[in-house]
Structure 1
Amino acid sequence: MSYFDFDALTIEDRKMHEVKQLGLQLAATQASLLVVGEAGVGKTSLARYIYAKSRSPRLYVLDCKNSGGFDFNRVDGGTLLIEDLDCASLALQGELMKLVERTDATRPRFISTSRRDIRALVKQEQFRQDLFYKLAVVHLEMPRLEDRATDFGKIVNFILEVSQIMHGKNGMSLSAEAYGRLNSWNWPGNIRELENVVERAVVLAKSSHIEADAIQFEAVNEDLALDFAPGMSLSEVEKRLILQTLELTAQNRTRAAQMLGISIRTLRNKLNEYRMEGVL
C-alpha cells in the first residue's frame, strides 16, 4: 500500500487486529518476521509500521524482484526489509544467508514479505530450508480486503480523505449508490485496488458529491498474467490457470477454489494429479 496508516484507524476485524497487535508486540524484539498475504493487502505497509515502532536506527530495503543494485556490504545493523521474498533467486538467497550468519553488530533484523507460501517453495527445492527457518521465525498473515467487512467503511473514508489531500480537494463524500458499488465489489487487488478506484473517483467527480458513475473498476487483474498460447491443450490451459491462481492467492486453496469456481475437493484432486505428474 502506498499511504496506509495503521494508527489512523480503529481496526475492528478480529484477524487484522490480532496481526497488528502481534506486530506491535514483536516490534521491539530482534525476531525475524515474515508477513504473508495476497497482492495489495498491505504487507509492506505493515512491515514499515513494525519498523517504525521499533528502536531500530536505520532501514534497508531489498526488492527481490529487482535486487541488482543492492549492496549487501553496506548493511550495518538496523532492519532489512525484504520485499517479495518468494521471488528471491538461489543466488540472492545465498547472499541473504551470509547476512543471516553474521555474528557481530552488523547483522540486521529481518522483516520479509511474501505473496506465496515459502514452505511450498522449500518442498519444491526452490527456496533454501535453512534460510526459511532463519527469516520466518514468526509468521504474520494479512487478511484479504474482502474478508474485512467490519473495517471496509473506515478504510474507504480514510483513503477518500488522503486522496482529497493529494489532489487539492476537500469536503468530498460518496453517494449511497457510489458506496454501494464499492461495497459490492470483491476486490481481487485488495486495498491497493481500492486506493486506485477511490483516487480515480476523486479525480473524475464533477462535484464534491461522488456519484456511482465515478466508481470504475479495472476489467483485468494485472497480478494474474496467464501465459496461454494457441495450440495448447485444454488440460494444459486448466493446469496453468489453477497453478497461477494458487500463486496469486499465496497458496490459499479455499480462496483459489472460490476464484476458479470449483469445489475445494475438485481442486485437491487436480493438485494430486499434478503431483503424480511431477509438476508439484
Structure 2
Amino acid sequence: MSYFDFDALQIEDRKMHEVKQLSLQLAATQASLLIVGEAGVGKTSLARYVYGKSRSPRLYCLDCKNPAGFDFGRIDGGTLLIEDLDCASTALQNELMRLVERTDGTRPRFISTSRRDVRAMVKQELFRQDLFYKLAVVHLEIPRLEDRVSDFPVIVNFILEVAQIMHGKTGLRLSPEAYARLNSWSWAGNIRELENVLERAVVLAKSSMIQPSDIQFEVAVEDLELDFAPGMSLSEVEKRLILQTLELTAQNRTRAAQMLGISIRTLRNKLNEYKEEGVL
C-alpha cells in the first residue's frame, strides 16, 4: 500500500502539520530536499507528494540499496528521488556528485530520503561532505507514528478505507475493542506496520465489524533463541518465554506484555514471582 493522500488527511499533529506546509512551500522550488525519519514513517510518500505538487515534467527513482542497472545517462532534467541516501556506496556517491555538477541543462531536482543522520555520517567520513551540502539544502523530519497521537485515528481510517478498496470490501468498521488494541501497540514499524496489520484485519474480518481477534501483530522473533525442551514444566516454559521476550524488547515491559498477549499487571506479578525465586 504505502501511499498517502496528504491533501485528504486532516493532520492535527503540530510537527507533521509543519512538515506538510513546508513541503507545499518547497514544491514550487528547485531546492534539494532531504527527508529523514525512521523506517515506515512515510518518507517516500512525502517525497512523491512534493513531486506531485511541483511542475517537474518527470520523476526518476534511485534505490541506493539496490542501484544495479540504474542509468544516470538517461536523466534529463525532472526530479530524481533518491531513496535511502544513507545506504549509498562510495561509488554511488561519486556518480551522484557527477550528476550534481552537470551544467548542460540536464541536472535534475533532488529529493532524498534517509533513515540515518547523514550529517553524522559526514563527520564519520562515511559520506561525502560536498555531496551532502548539495543534496540537503533543506531538511524535513517526519515524526514517528507513536508520537503522532492526535493523527492516529485519521491515519487508521484512511488506511482502512484504502485496504477495503484494494480487497473489494465495503462498510468495515473497527469495534471499540479492536481500536483499543491498535491504540495500545507501540508501532516500531510505524505507518508501514499499521498498514500491514489493518490490511490483514480487512482480509480476515468475518463481518462488517472488525474484532480484536482480527488484529494480529507480527512479532519479530528471528533473534530470539528459545531453549525449550521436551519434559520441561509449563511454568518453566512460561518463565523462559517471558524472560527472553523481555530480552528481545530491551526490557520494555509494555511491549513485552503486548507481544505475550498478557496485561502489564500480569507481567509485573510474574516478574515479582521470579524475583522471590532468585531468578532476577
Give TM-score, length-normalised by structure 2.
Answer: 0.79
What is the distance in 2 between the residues matched to 1:189 and 1:2? 12
| 2:207 alignment partner in structure 1 | 207
Residue 90 of structure 1 deviates from its aligned partner by 0.2
1:25 partner letter: Q
Aligned pairs for 1:129-278 within 5 A? 129-220=129-220, 260=250
Residue 124 of structure 1 deviates from its aligned partner by 1.4
Residue-by-residue CA offset, 1:220-279 (whole Å, 9 max, x unaligned):
18xxx87x9xxxxxxxxxxxxxxxxxxxxxxxxxxxxxx7469xxxxxxxxxxxxxxxxx
What is the distance in 2 between the residues matched to 1:39 and 1:141? 12
What is the distance in 2 between the residues matched to 1:129 and 1:3? 32
Q: Secondary structure at the match of 1:196?
A: helix
Residue-by-residue CA offset, 1:57-80 (whole Å, 9 max, x unaligned):
000000000101100000000000
The reply to whether residue 29 of structure 1 matches residue 16 of structure 2 is no
Residue-by-residue CA offset, 1:109-135 (whole Å, 9 max, x unaligned):
000000000011111111000000000
Shift in alpha-carbon separation, 1:74–1:142, aligned structure 2, 3 A: same
What is the distance in 2 between the residues matched to 1:177 and 1:77? 51
| 1:44 alignment partner in structure 2 | 44
1:82 partner letter: I
What is the distance in 2 between the residues matched to 1:143 and 1:208? 32
Residue-by-residue CA offset, 1:196-232 (whole Å, 9 max, x unaligned):
00000000011111000000101118xxx87x9xxxx
Q: Secondary structure at the match of 1:130?
A: helix
What is the distance in 2 between the residues matched to 1:118 and 1:260? 26
Identity %: 80
Q: Secondary structure at the match of 2:60?
A: strand
What is the distance in 1 between the residues matched to 2:148 and 2:84? 23
What is the distance in 2 between the residues matched to 1:46 and 1:36? 10
Residue 104 of structure 1 deviates from its aligned partner by 2.8
What is the distance in 1 between the residues matched to 2:84 and 2:135? 13
2:78 partner letter: G
The ranges of structure 1 where at least 4 consecutive aligned residues each deviate by more than 2 angstroms after the TM superposition are: 259-262
Q: Secondary structure at the match of 2:170?
A: coil
What is the distance in 1 between the residues matched to 2:185 and 2:31? 37
Residue 4 of structure 1 deviates from its aligned partner by 1.5
| 1:73 alignment partner in structure 2 | 73
Shift in alpha-carbon separation, 1:261–1:23, aligned structure 2, 3 A: farther
2:17 partner letter: H
What is the distance in 2 between the residues matched to 1:104 and 1:215? 54
- Consecutive unaligned residues of structure 1, counting only runs of 5 or more, are 229-258, 263-280
What is the distance in 1 between the residues matched to 2:63 and 2:97? 16
Q: Secondary structure at the match of 2:171?
A: coil
What is the distance in 1 between the residues matched to 2:251 and 2:113? 28
Residue-by-residue CA offset, 1:99-158 (whole Å, 9 max, x unaligned):
100123200000000000001111111100000000000000000000000010010001
2:4 partner letter: F
What is the distance in 2 between the residues matched to 1:105 and 1:152? 43
Q: Secondary structure at the match of 1:218?
A: coil
What is the distance in 2 between the residues matched to 1:193 and 1:8? 21
| 2:19 alignment partner in structure 1 | 19
- Consecutive unaligned residues of structure 2, counting only runs of 5 or more, are 226-248, 253-280
What is the distance in 2 between the residues matched to 1:7 and 1:47? 14
| 1:275 alignment partner in structure 2 | none
| 2:57 alignment partner in structure 1 | 57
What is the distance in 2 between the residues matched to 1:202 and 1:34? 34
| 1:231 alignment partner in structure 2 | none
The reply to whether residue 9 of structure 1 matches residue 12 of structure 2 is no
Residue 3 of structure 1 deviates from its aligned partner by 2.1
1:65 partner letter: K
